[in-house]
Structure formats: C-alpha cells, structure tokens
Amino acid sequence: MCDLRPHDLVRLHDPRTLRRAYPETPLWVWRALDTAPWVVVRRATAPAGAVPVGVRGAGRGRRFAMDVSVTAVRERVRPEDLPVRSPALPAGLPVARALELTRRDLDGAGVIWGPTGSTGFQLASGHPVVTETSDLDLLLRVTNPAELPDPWALHTALSGLPARVDCQIETPEGAYALGELASGVPEVLLRHRDGPRLVPNPWARRAELS
C-alpha cells in the first residue's frame, strides 16, 4: 500500500484501534467510522509507515485529519476504479445524471479519470452522502497538464452538466483546477503535498495562440 495517492479511498480494518492514538477526537469521527470505515487520502506528508487521511462526517463542516498506519488499510480504491463499478447513486440525482454524461465523454477520449468527493465516497462505500445539491468532483490523471488535447472544450462540456463540476487535473507534481488552467491566466495554483504554490500556467501560451 505504499503507492497510496491523494483522493484514493481506503477501507480500514478496525477503526476502533485508532482511539488510543487519538483520545481527544470528536465523538462524531468514531460514529462516522463505525457507520462506514472509509477514509480519503489527503494531500499531505505523514511519518514513515503512515498515510495522511481525512474522515468524512455529516455535512461539509465535518472533516477530520489524521495519520493512520499503512497496516490499518484493508482495501484501496482509486477514483479511476469507480466508473466501471455499478453506480450506487439514485438515478434521479443531478450528480448521477452528470456522472453518466461525463462517462460518455471521457471514456471515449481515453482519459484516466474518476469521481472524488461525496460521489466517489458513496460509490466506494455504499454509504449515502450525495444530496440534490452536491457537486460532482472529478479527477483527471495525466503526466503533464499540457498533454490534454482540448482543455477548453473539456471545461465547456463539464460546465453544462446537470450538477456543478469541480475538476482537478492530477499530475506527479500535484493538482491543478481545470477551470483555472482553462482561464488562460499566467499563473495558477498547484496543490502540492507540501502546500499550495503559484506556478506558470502550462496552458497560457496555448490560449494566446488559439
């Protein structure tokens, strides 16, 4: 499990064993893990032999960061593993409709992608967390953000879906927001495990030439 990456979802063997390491943790964290023993890998550093994860509670305001031993990980599911699974989303939800439209576009384009956020969590765990107003969080995995063939067309397509889409372009160096890259601004935010940093926009020159 040494290749765990940000946005990977991991199922824990027995969350109760973490109580000794985090004695002052809010009670809602243990209730959440008792209900669904799944956590998401955070973009952060952790001690050797540990992985930085986040616990999802009810509502946007309930997130808890911790480091868990890699031996506590029972299963790992990557975002790109999720689209090929049977969706655990009610078909009438805007996110479910948006995900199906996204699947048609991105699978045909040969892009490595997958849902993250509440959609990814629900597909992996089976625990209902998606609502009528949930965003669809997406991850596109590339070696270099400049290799995407038509980023502006992609951004336009995702902007017209039934649910609001937040798409990140994941690279070995960190993650970019698709909307920020497509804006053509000279500098963009790179989400790095050591913290965010401003870097040159790899699409800015292409925007000038288009």
- Domain end residue (candidates: 52, 77, 102): 77
The tally of domains found in the chain comes to 2
Residues 72 and 86 in one domain: no
Model confidence at 73: pLDDT above 90: yes
Between 12 and 183, the more confident residue is 12
In sequence order, the 6+-apart residues with CB closer than 8 A to the CB of 67 are: 46, 47, 50, 51, 52, 53
Residues 90 and 67 in one domain: no
Verdict on whether the full-model pTM lies above 0.75: yes
- Using DSSP's 3-state secondary structure scheme, residue 25 falls into coil
Residues 73 and 149 in one domain: no
Residues 50 and 128 in one domain: no
* Per-residue pLDDT band at 209 (split at 50, 70, 90): very low
Residues 41 and 103 in one domain: no
Do 7 and 120 meet the contact criterion of CB atoms below 8 Å apart? yes
Do 163 and 136 meet the contact criterion of CB atoms below 8 Å apart? yes
In sequence order, the 6+-apart residues with CB closer than 8 A to the CB of 151 are: 145, 178, 181, 182, 203, 206
- Domain end residue (candidates: 62, 77, 92): 77
Torsion angle defined by CA atoms of residues 146, 176, 172 and 86, in that order, rounded to the nearest 10 degrees: -100
Residues 137 and 69 in one domain: no
- Using DSSP's 3-state secondary structure scheme, residue 16 falls into helix
* Per-residue pLDDT band at 207 (split at 50, 70, 90): low
Q: What is the pLDDT of residue 208?
A: 54
- Measured CA to CA, the distance from residue 119 to residue 96 in angstroms comes to 8
In sequence order, the 6+-apart residues with CB closer than 8 A to the CB of 17 are: 72
Query: pLDDT tens-digit profile of 81-133?
Result: 997 556 678 888 999 999 999 988 888 777 899 999 999 999 999 999 999 99
Residues 104 and 63 in one domain: no
Q: Mean per-residue pLDDT for 165-192?
A: 93
* Per-residue pLDDT band at 141 (split at 50, 70, 90): very high
Establish if 123 belongs to a structural domain: yes
Residues 32 and 97 in one domain: no
- Domain end residue (candidates: 53, 77, 101): 77
Phi and psi angles of residue 194, each rounded to the nearest 5 degrees, phi first? -90, 5
Catalytic residue numbers read: 135, 137
Residues 53 and 111 in one domain: no
Do 39 and 68 meet the contact criterion of CB atoms below 8 Å apart? yes
Q: Please give the residue range of the domain that contains residue 25.
A: 8-77
- Give CA angle at 7 (6, 10), nearest 5°: 100
